[in-house]
Amino acid sequence: MIKKISLDNYGKFRNERFDFGAFTMVYGPNEAGKTTLFDALFEAACAAAPKRGQVWARLASRYGEDRKARASGAVPAFGDAVEFLELFAIRAGQISVDAEKGGSWAEAAKNSLYRHGYNPAEIAGKLEKRASVSNATRHQKNLNRLNSDLAETREKAALLRSQETAIAAAKTGLAASEADIAALENKKSVLAAELAAAGGRLDDYKKIRALHQGLRDRDLVAGAIQAEKKLAEVSGCNAEALKEYDLLADKIAAAERGVAEISGTINATLDTIGKLDGEKASLLESQRVARRIADAAQRLLPELEKITRPGQAAGPEPRPPAGLRYGIWGFGAAGAALGLYMAKNGPLGYVLAAFFAAAAVALDRYLFRAADLPAGLAAGPASLAAVYDQWVNLGFARVDIERDTPAGVMEAALNLKAMARSWDIAVENNRKDGLAARAALKELNDKSITLAEDKDACAAAARKWLAGAGCPDRDGYLSRANLRQSLAGETARNSARIKELLELEKCSGPASLITLLDSRVKELEGAGVRVRPDYERDMATQENRVIALSAERAELEEELGRRKIERENLSVTFNKDLARVPETLNALCRREYDLEQEIAADALARSGAELAAGVYREIEADSSRKFEGLAREVGILLARVLPLSDLHIGSLSLESVALKDAGGAMRALDDLSSGTRDCFMLAARLTLAAAARGAEPGLMLLDDPFPALDAPRRAAALTMLRHFQRETGWQLIIFTKDKTLLAEVEGDPQVTICQLV
């Protein structure tokens, strides 16, 4: 209880002191300082309040900063200046609770009493809004956006995952491609090895070829040098010059031929001579026989003539003239001579000579042989036998003369006689022929000797010619001529290659070239290269193999290149499309996770808000229940001062309070008289204040509280206040300018009166 308050420089009070009791009435006319004292008491009560609102500023502006109000006694402390003014101070005309925040007084009272200046319902509302799933709320909009982001993110991630799956599915193709490439690479390396080996072998062959070439070139150059020497040796021999020799040789041959021909004729002539000599003996024999026969026939003739015709003697047959015979012989000799002459030019001459000789002999024989035969013997038949006998006696055969008739026999005998003659001719002819033949032979021998001499002369000339050429014979010369020609040809043929070699090897001449080639050959041989007879064939085979392998490799490389491009394309497709997939997917997963976390956090916040809202709603319900309990207390308090019946107080709000008026009608508080309403409000204010303060000592300042009350109601109100003071022990300080009110308490020892002047 505030027992005393000292005011220094407080409004109109410079240094004043006022005393108070439990129930104090401060009386003073207008401008006496009642409000100033009211404010000073208020300031003293709320001096320690943490919440002062605008009230303190108002005090400062009204009374200045240097004001001082010191209260003594057990000053009750209030924590909230505004609340104090609302609950513990009643101003004139403001008996109803002044709801500064615009609410109804009851609501403000409730806030002050049970919500401590807050509105749990309002807070619950805010929290419920936070927990609301309505699309109108900011949170829900944000949540919707998050959910939409999440769905989008999940969709993107699913798409990327399917792409990833596609990679795995495409693995087979790529793996096959890789395997193909690996196989091809392997094949290529095998092929390369084969090719290298083949190339190596080919190189070996090339070395062999180089060796061969070197040897060949070396031999060529050596041969050329040799040929040059030989050529110098045989340079005089040539085929043209040989014609000279050949002419001599021809002459020799012609002479030899002539000699041969003549020799043939000589032989023929010798044959003829031999034949004639042979015939001569036979002819001589035949002549002798024929002469014997003819002699014998001669002996018969007289006999025969006797037999046939006595007197008639058998004469000899007519004969061709002998001059013809000499002509034939001359002709034959002439022909043979001609033939021999011709034989100088060919063998035909010998034939001709032989022919003419033979023809003369044959013709002579033909024409003249019969005439040579001895004439036959004729004998008459009578004496024929004698003739025959005589004939036989002569030593001849009967048959030779035996005929049918004596004439015949006579003829036969004559013939036989004539035959001897023909043999004579034949012998003569033979002798002549022999002479002619011997003459021809001599001639022929002479000719042969001439020819032999010619031949010897020519042969000597030929030998001399050959000796001049330095050759043993023609073949020697010819071979040398041929050698020269072939050497010349060879030199001509080789000169191009040698020239080429000289230029190639930059050698001044064949000698240095051969040295170079020789050293090269030795070098190759030193490196183990050996001449191989069949190297060209093998090398060609090897070359073909290298070419085939190269072609195969090229083909393989082409194939490999194609495969690699194929694989590269495949990889590029993969890489281009999918290289960043894992990172993107990871980022999306993180985003998804973050969104889920955010959504979960929102859900948690929403759920928490819901729970908190429930708690606040509970607090709100509790306070409402308590507030309703107060209504009953107001009724009890009011019933003490007002003779009202059927007081009905539903809750502490003007709308729900109804009283029965004097006329017995139930009327709402607003419709009752202002006095009745003020009494109700006073009771309500006292109840609320008591409830608000609880067990703590209270203070209530009432500034001219009953302006609208009539005297009885004012007295009743005063009674209610005094009852309240007694029951609660609160300090009540009433400020009034109403003397009648002062009069009502004057003399009451329990009322402290403070008069302001």
Partner 1 sequence: MLRILHASDLHLTSGPDREYGLEVLRELVCLANSRQADFLLLCGDLFDSFKDLKENSLLNSVRQEVQLLRAGCRALYIPGNHEDIGRGPKDRLSSFDLGRLELMTDAAAACGGKTLETPEAEFICVPHSSDYSGYRKWQLPPKAPGRARLLLMHGTSSAVYRGPDQEEQQAGVIPDSLFAWLEADYAALGHVHSARETLIGGTLAVYCGSARVWRKWEDGPRKAVFFETEGGKIGARQDLFIKAAGEYRYFTLPVNPDSSILPTAMRELLEKCPAPYRDYIVVRFSGLVEDANALAGLKSVVEGVLRAKNPRRLELLSDQVEIFGGLADNALAKQFLEKLDSRRPAEDSPEMPRWVAARQQGLAALAGDLE
Nearest residue (CB) to partner 1, 196 versus 621: 621
In angstroms, the Cα distances linking 95 to 87, 677, 702, 705 are 10, 10, 9, 7
Q: Are 396 and 293 in contact (CB under 8 A)?
A: yes
Nearest residue (CB) to partner 1, 467 versus 621: 621
Choose the binding region for partner 1 from 22-30, 231-239, 441-449, 607-615 (rule: CB under 8 A): 607-615
Answer for which of 441, 560, 609, 699 binds partner 1 (CB under 8 A) is 609
Rule CB under 8 A: is residue 115 a binding residue for partner 1? Answer: yes
* Element counts in the chain: helices (H) and strands (E): 18, 12
Answer for which of 239, 611, 636, 666 binds partner 1 (CB under 8 A) is 611
Rounded CA gap, 25 and 33, in Å?
A: 14
End-to-end CA distance of the chain: 24
Answer for which of 54, 575, 674, 755 binds partner 1 (CB under 8 A) is 575
Rule CB under 8 A: is residue 629 a binding residue for partner 1? Answer: no
Nearest residue (CB) to partner 1, 196 versus 605: 605
Q: Are 13 and 741 in contact (CB under 8 A)?
A: no
Output the six-digit token pair for 60. Answer: 């400062």
Binding mask 518-557 for partner 1 (x = CB under 8 A): ----------------------------------------
3-state SS track over 463-512? HHHHHHHCCCCHHHHHHHHHHHHHHHHHHHHHHHHHHHHHHHHCCCCHHH
Choose the binding region for partner 1 from 393-401, 485-493, 500-508, 576-584 (rule: CB under 8 A): 576-584
Nearest residue (CB) to partner 1, 30 versus 162: 162
Answer for which of 3, 52, 68, 126 binds partner 1 (CB under 8 A) is 126
Q: How many CB atoms lie within 10 A of CB 199?
A: 17
Rounded CA gap, 415 and 301, in Å?
A: 11
Beta bridge partners of 752: 24
* Residue positions counted in the chain: 757
How many residues belong to the site for partner 1 (CB under 8 A)?
A: 48
Binding mask 690-709 for partner 1 (x = CB under 8 A): --------------------
Binding mask 19-58 for partner 1 (x = CB under 8 A): -------------------------------xx-------
Beta strand 731-736 with 23-27: parallel, antiparallel or unpaired? Answer: parallel
Strand order in the sheet with 648-649: 648-649, 657-660, 666-668
Choose the binding region for partner 1 from 313-321, 328-336, 386-394, 615-623 (rule: CB under 8 A): 615-623
Binding mask 136-175 for partner 1 (x = CB under 8 A): -------------------------x--xx-xx--x--x-
Nearest residue (CB) to partner 1, 70 versus 126: 126
Answer for which of 29, 64, 93, 117 binds partner 1 (CB under 8 A) is 117
Q: Are 465 and 477 in contact (CB under 8 A)?
A: no
Long-range contact list for 402-407, CB < 8 A, 24+ apart?
Answer: 405/381, 406/304, 406/307, 406/308, 406/378, 406/379, 406/380, 406/381, 406/382, 407/308, 407/378
| Site for partner 1, residues 164 to 223, rule: CB under 8 A | 164-165, 167-168, 171, 174
Answer for which of 38, 368, 477, 616 binds partner 1 (CB under 8 A) is 616
Closest Cα to residue 707, out of 732, 684, 740? Answer: 740
Helices of type H across 373-473: 381-393, 406-469
Rule CB under 8 A: is residue 749 a binding residue for partner 1? Answer: no
Rule CB under 8 A: is residue 82 a binding residue for partner 1? Answer: no
Answer for which of 180, 428, 594, 738 binds partner 1 (CB under 8 A) is 594
Q: Using CB under 8 A as the criterion, which residues of the chain lie in contact with partner 1 when the complex forms?
A: 50-51, 79, 115-118, 120, 123, 126-127, 130, 161, 164-165, 167-168, 171, 174, 571, 574-575, 578-583, 585-586, 588-590, 592-594, 604-605, 607-612, 615-616, 618-619
